[in-house]
Each structure stands twice: as C-alpha cells, then as structure tokens.
C-alpha cells in the first residue's frame, strides 16, 4: 500500500473532512499524520480501505474487537435485535442476560450498571465512590489513562515527576480545567508503592477512591507490580476508601479479568470495550453495598443515573454473544498467541541487534525501541512512537497503534506471527539503511 498517497481516496476524504469535522474527525486519540485512512469494510482480522488496500488489524479498535470484525455470530445477534427494535424505555432480556453473565465472572461482581463508554463508566464509578463515602477526592496515577472525564484526565501526558525533587502535582490535561478539579485529584507515582502510600496516607481522610488500571500503563506496555497493587488494596481496605479497578482494557486478560489473574479485590470495577461486542458500551460493577448508591429509596438514589442509550439492546445482544464466546479456553488461546507474538518480536530484535524491549501482557504486545535509526529518542532513552516503523508496517499490510502496540483477536492464529515478524525485520533493516545512506 502506498501511504501517504495524496492521490488516494482516503487523502481526498480527509481533505474534505477538514471542512466539517474538527481535525477531520471525532477522536483525538486516533489521529495519525498526514491523514486518516478511510475504511470500506472490516471483516475478520482484516480491514480494507476505500482504495482497496488490505491491512491485518493489529489495533482492533484499541482493544475492543476481541473477535475481530463482523463476526457472523455477533452480527447475527445484533441483527436479530435490530429487527426487534434498537432502543426503548424498558428493560431488555439481553441486558439481564449480559448482567448475569458478567456478575458470574468474579466474586467481586454483585451488581452491575450499564452505560455507553468507558469514560462514562469511570465517571460513574468515581461519582459512586463519592456518593458512598461522602468524601470529595480521588487518587490516580500520574500518566494513567482512564478516558475523558475531567477528574480522570488529571496529570495525563505530563513529564514524569522526578521523585527526588518532590511529589507529583495535579496538572490539567485540557485547557480550562477548573482548579477545583485539580484540587480534588491526588496524583500518585505509578509503581512506586512507598511514595504512593505516603501520599495516600496524607490524604486518607478526604479520599473517596483510588482509581487504578491494574494492567498497568501505556495500554498494558508496563505491568503494575505486585507490591504496587497490594499496597493499593491494603490502603483502601484500611481506610475505607473505594478501590476502583479500571478494567476497560484489562478485562481482556482472562475469564475474571485482570483482577482474577492477579487476585485483586476491588469494590468497584469499570468495564467497556470487549463487553459490547463492538458496540459502544461501559459498565460499573461491584460490591452490592457500594452499588446501592444507584438504587432509589422513597425519594431518590444517592447517585441518580440516567442515559437514553444505557444498556441499549443492540449493544447488550452483541456483547452477550461476544462474552459467551470468551470461554476460559478462548482466553488461554488468545493469551498464548500474545506469548507467540512477543517471542517472535524478541527474535526479530535479536536477529537485527535492535536495541529495544518487547513488552505487553496477555493478548497485547508492544515494543519500546531505543535505536536512534528508528525514531526520536526521548529524554528517558526510549522511542515510544516510531513513525517510520509504523508507516513501514502500514505500507506492508499491518495496522498497529502508532505506539507500536499490537492487539490480538480470537480470529487470528499462530500462522499470523511469522509473516508479521518478517515484515518487522525488513522494516527495521530498511529504516537502518535509510538512516545510514542519509548520514
Ligand atoms: C483504561 C481505560 N479506561 C477508560 C477508557 C475510556 O473508554 P472509552 O474510550 O470507551 O470512553 C479507556 C479507553 O481507552 C481506557 O483505556
């Protein structure tokens, strides 16, 4: 595939989109230079763009499409529901069935509430913790992503604090963030249990919740350590602070999510992505007592929660089928495929003497490069976004995240590993040659 190609249909559509869509689109997080590729069709593990180019999708809509695209069983479930109505002001059997399925997956899950995005799930979990405890503040890790609720965005995309000079401070991500928001978010350093515990202790009396993505940071690139996770659990338990596990991504780790894999006991968990079968979704699930804030007594709930499309039946039907298909065997197979990709990428690094680290967990793999031929090295000695390598992979049929993260789906198999690794190897070699001939 020729990319970029100013004469392509995608380039033309992107130019046209500038007239009516800010940045030419609706998601800051998927923006790529110089233009977005427009998709004609996505089926199974492949995406075909409007110019007829086919890409193996190793992005899977940022971890959502756990069964790839247009899986016939999920399409069938969604279509049957579409033909019976797409939204009405009543409960649906699909909602109940998906709730039962999910609540059956972890002893931490008594009751669930559905909404339309992971962002909403995080927002409602934070509001639930405030409503339950009567306290205003939350704590979160510096540079951890939890969607776009003001409080969850604090101290995202910042230079990591040099802990020898002081503690992290709350920093605005969006311009215009009210000072009150910053004042109510306590920022802790990720994977630094001692310093984080001290900061949490200093704020214990005012904290409603500690919000944590238990799979770690950077889309599973860096795992949370056992010590760090244990410290969060202990702190919350000792101080009656709500432990919120944000498993919007992490839930793809296993049958009971990351919390099952790492034996965590959060009181609230936020879900999204895979549980919607490819449709918009979010959920807050957890301990019945804490979840009772959503329940009205004679007057109204401590946390009234509406939403026209909450638990919309199409999402529920598709999500139910998608999650039914995620048996323990399916998780095992998917995670083994993750191991195979990580092993393959490590072999590529060894063969090509590439300075870098193979990372990722479960069904997500990633690479952090440190070779100056492959991109701009950050102050910390890493290349998190190798535009050159990412582009080479696109040109040769692979769609990863710009941060060189690969997300696997159940419709992929080990036969996909070798061709991917061969392309990666030739990409690394070609970029090196280009750099050498430019010097
Ligand atoms: C850990 C985490 N929490 C929350 C969100 C927000 O989810 P959504 O994009 O559905 O709003 C994301 C999205 O990537 C996420 O990775």
Could you tell me the distance, in angstroms and rounded to a whole number, from the CA of residue 212 to the centre of ligand 1?
12
Per-residue pLDDT for the chain (439 aa), expressed as one digit of tens each? 999 999 999 999 999 999 999 999 999 888 888 999 999 999 999 999 999 999 999 999 999 999 999 999 999 999 999 999 999 999 999 999 999 999 999 999 999 999 999 999 999 999 999 999 999 999 999 999 999 999 999 999 999 999 999 999 999 999 999 999 999 999 999 999 999 999 999 999 999 999 999 999 999 999 999 999 999 999 999 999 999 999 999 999 999 999 999 999 999 999 999 999 999 999 999 999 999 999 998 889 999 999 999 999 999 999 999 999 999 999 999 999 999 999 999 999 999 999 999 999 999 999 999 888 888 888 777 887 888 999 999 999 999 999 999 999 999 999 999 999 999 999 999 999 998 898 8
Beta strands in 149-286 (DSSP E): 185-188, 207-212, 242-246, 268-272, 282-286
Could you tell me the distance, in angstroms and rounded to a whole number, from the CA of residue 225 to the centre of ligand 1?
21
Q: Which residues line ligand 1 (CB under 6 A)?
A: 62, 117-119, 122, 145-147, 213, 246, 248-249, 272, 282
Q: For residue 82, list its beta bridge partners.
A: none
Given the CA of residue 29, which atom of ligand 1 is nearest to it? 14
> Could you tell which of 59, 63, 249 is best to mutate to test the pocket of ligand 1, judged by most ligand atoms within 8 Å of the CB?
249
Ramachandran quadrant class, 310 (left: phi over 0; alpha: psi -120 to 50; beta: rest): beta
Domains of the chain with bracketed CATH: 9-66+328-438 (3.90.1150.10), 72-325 (3.40.640.10)
| Model pLDDT, residue 375 | 84
The candidate with the shortest Cα–Cα distance to 224, out of 274, 262, 187, 167, is: 262
Could you tell me the distance, in angstroms and rounded to a whole number, from the CA of residue 124 to the centre of ligand 1?
13
Residues composing the chain: 439
Q: How many CB atoms lie within 10 A of CB 429?
A: 14
C-alpha dihedral (298, 97, 337, 220), degrees to nearest 10: -10
Residue 343: which residues within 8 A CB-CB, separation 6 or more? none
| Model pLDDT, residue 89 | 96
Q: Model-level pTM?
A: 0.97
Phi, psi for 211 (deg, rounded to 5): -100, 125
Could you tell me the distance, in angstroms and rounded to a whole number, from the CA of residue 297 to the centre of ligand 1?
31
| Model pLDDT, residue 380 | 77
Given the CA of residue 118, which atom of ligand 1 is nearest to it? 7
Could you tell me the distance, in angstroms and rounded to a whole number, from the CA of residue 418 to the centre of ligand 1?
31
Rounded-to-integer distance, Cα 144 and Cα 155, Å: 8
Strands 185-188 and 207-212: unpaired
Given the CA of residue 280, which atom of ligand 1 is nearest to it? 10
Could you tell me the distance, in angstroms and rounded to a whole number, from the CA of residue 147 to the centre of ligand 1?
5
> Could you tell which of 153, 249, 272 is best to mutate to test the pocket of ligand 1, judged by most ligand atoms within 8 Å of the CB?
272
> Could you tell which of 147, 269, 279, 361 is best to mutate to test the pocket of ligand 1, judged by most ligand atoms within 8 Å of the CB?
147
Beta strands in 11-158 (DSSP E): 39-43, 46-49, 54-57, 111-115, 137-141
Identify the residue whose C-alpha is closest to ligand 1 atom 2: 146
Identify the residue whose C-alpha is closest to ligand 1 atom 4: 146
Identify the residue whose C-alpha is closest to ligand 1 atom 7: 118
């Amino acid at each position: 595939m020729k990319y970029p190609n100013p004469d392509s249909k995608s380039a033309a559509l992107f130019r046209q989109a500038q007239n009516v869509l800010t940045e030419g689109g609706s998601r800051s997080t998927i923006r790529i230079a110089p233009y977005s590729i427009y998709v004609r069709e996505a089926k199974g593990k492949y995406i075909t763009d409007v110019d007829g180019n086919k890409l193996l999708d190793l992005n899977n809509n940022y971890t959502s499409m756990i069964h790839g695209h247009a899986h016939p069983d999920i399409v069938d479930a969604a279509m049957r529901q579409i033909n019976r109505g797409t939204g009405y002001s009543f409960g649906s059997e699909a909602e109940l069935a998906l709730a039962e399925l999910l609540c059956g997956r972890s002893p931490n899950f008594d009751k669930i509430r559905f909404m339309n995005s992971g962002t909403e799930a995080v927002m409602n979990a934070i509001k639930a913790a405030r409503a339950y405890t009567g306290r205003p503040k939350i704590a979160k890790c510096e540079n951890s992503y939890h969607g776009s609720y003001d409080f969850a965005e604090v101290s995202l995309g910042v230079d990591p604090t040099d802990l020898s000079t002081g503690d992290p401070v709350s920093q605005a991500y969006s311009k215009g963030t009210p000072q009150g928001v910053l004042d109510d978010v306590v920022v802790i350093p990720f994977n630094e249990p001692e310093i984080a515990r001290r900061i949490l202790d200093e704020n214990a009396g005012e904290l409603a919740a500690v919000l944590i993505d238990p799979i770690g940071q950077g889309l599973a690139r860096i795992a949370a350590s056992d010590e760090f996770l244990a410290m969060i659990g202990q702190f919350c338990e000792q101080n009656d602070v709500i432990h919120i596990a944000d498993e919007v991504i992490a839930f793809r780790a296993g049958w009971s999510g990351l919390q099952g894999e790492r034996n965590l006991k959060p009181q609230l968990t936020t879900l999204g992505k895979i549980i919607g079968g490819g449709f918009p979704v979010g959920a807050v699930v957890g301990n019945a007592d804490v979840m009772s804030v959503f329940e009205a007594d004679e007057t109204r709930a401590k946390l009234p929660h509406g939403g026209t499309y909450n638990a919309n039946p199409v999402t529920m039907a598709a999500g139910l089928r998608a999650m039914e298909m995620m048996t323990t065997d399916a998780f095992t197979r998917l995670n083994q495929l993750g191991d195979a990709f990580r092993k393959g990428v490590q072999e590529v690094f060894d063969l090509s003497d590439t300075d870098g680290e193979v990372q990722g967990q479960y069904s997500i793999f990633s690479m952090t490069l440190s070779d100056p031929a492959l991109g701009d090295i950050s102050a910390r000695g890493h290349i998190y976004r190798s535009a050159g390598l990412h582009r080479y992979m696109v040109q040769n049929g692979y769609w990863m995240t710009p941060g060189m993260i690969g997300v696997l789906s159940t419709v992929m198999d080990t036969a996909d590993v070798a061709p991917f690794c061969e392309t990666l190897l030739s990409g690394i070699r070609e970029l090196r040659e280009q750099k050498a001939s430019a010097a």
